[in-house]
Amino acid sequence: MPIVTVDWWTGFGEDERRRLVRSLTDSVVEVTGCRPDSVTVIVRDIAPDHWARGGVLAHDRPKAQSEPSTPEA
């Protein structure tokens, strides 16, 4: 029973979550041979002011340096 956890920035919609969950499930099934209903995917939305790299909060970085990419507005 594989468990996949994804942390990403807030702002992605339900459609993107559905596509992500389906794609991850399909990949895990392909690699492990398990049944799709045995795969658990947990998606956690993280605000950019709770995400940092190199000691700098993501929302404090210049736009070009902010990663991971944010959802399109």
Q: Mean pLDDT throughout 50-60?
A: 90
The closest alpha carbon to 2, from 37, 50, 52, 47, belongs to 37
The more confident residue out of 41 and 48 is 41
In this structure, what token pair is assigned to residue 17?
């979550």
Q: Is the per-residue pLDDT at 71 higher than 90?
A: no
Q: Please name the amino acid found at residue 38.
A: S
The least confident of 32-36, 45-49, 59-63 is 59-63
User: Measured between alpha carbons, how far is 55 from 42 in angstroms, rounded to an integer?
Assistant: 26
Secondary structure class of 69 (helix, strand, coil): coil
> What is the 8-class DSSP label of residue 3?
E
Average pLDDT over residues 28-42: 98
DSSP 8: E
Multiple choice CATH, 3-65, 3.40.50.620, 3.40.630.190, 3.40.50.10490, 3.30.429.10: 3.30.429.10
